[in-house]
A and B are shown apart, each in its own frame.
Chain A
């Protein structure tokens, strides 16, 4: 079992719809969770992070965390073609003095005009 799992997609949604991206993780000790967006040929850029159970909203983006079920999700409201990218879920690795991030393989989102 991979430590961080994501559906590779592509996830295709029409412009203006809600895109829902999901991620599950295996280490119950993980404490912080991140969503990165990566455009083709570019480096990952941080969209949101979440530490506590529940929802965290930032503009059109909402991160949701359920530690009991070990999943984290990202909702993108009013999806735009510019949101088309690969979305990487990352989970901290609590072992060791320096926290490391474990990344999923990413979900490709395609927003259709």
Chain B
């Protein structure tokens, strides 16, 4: 039981390149989330998915797209990376709408040059 896994752990991109961050959970949770964490800014929600087939914007969605492929997987795509997207990205999942506890993956450290 791995919980929440994220790939890759580290990534360096050049401005304008694209990439997809992968997240998978084996906890059978319904909701999944993507956050970014920057020094002094805390965790900020990018996108979330309440259930398979649904996605919604969070606080900072610009420059990102997401796909909820199935119940287990939730990916985050950067179509044209910018230096402002240098950050640590965390995926999280939660069981259902009445249980708010979120469980986090190990994170992806992304640098955009």
Query: Interface residues, chain A, CB within 8 Å of chain B?
Result: 8, 32, 34, 42-46, 49, 88, 92, 96-101, 103-106
Further 8 A-B residue pairs, CB within 8 A, beyond A100-B33, A100-B58, A106-B42: A32-B100, A43-B104, A44-B104, A49-B100, A98-B31, A98-B50, A99-B100, A105-B40
Residues of B close to A49: CB separation below 8 A = 100-101
Q: Is the CB of B97 within 8 A of A42?
A: no
Residues of B close to A43: CB separation below 8 A = 90, 104-107
Interface hits, B36-89 → A, CB 8 Å: 40-45, 48, 50, 56, 58
What 5 pairs across the A-B complex have the smallest Cβ distances? A105-B42, A98-B50, A43-B104, A103-B43, A103-B42
Question: How many inter-chain contacts with C-beta < 8 Å in the A-B complex?
Answer: 48
Tell me how many residues of B have a C-beta within 8 Å of chain A. 22
Query: Interface residues, chain B, CB within 8 Å of chain A?
Result: 31, 33, 40-45, 48, 50, 56, 58, 90, 97, 100-107
| A49 to B95 CA separation, bound complex (whole angstroms) | 15
Among B43, B48, B90: residue with most chain A CB under 10 A: B43
Residues of A close to B44: CB separation below 8 A = 103
Tell me how far the C-beta of B59 lies from the nearest C-beta in chain A, rounded to whole angstroms: 9
27 contacts between A and B (CB under 8 A): A8-B40, A34-B100, A34-B101, A42-B106, A43-B90, A43-B105, A44-B43, A44-B90, A45-B104, A46-B101, A46-B102, A49-B101, A88-B42, A88-B43, A92-B100, A96-B56, A97-B50, A98-B31, A98-B48, A99-B97, A100-B48, A100-B58, A103-B42, A103-B44, A104-B42, A105-B40, A105-B41
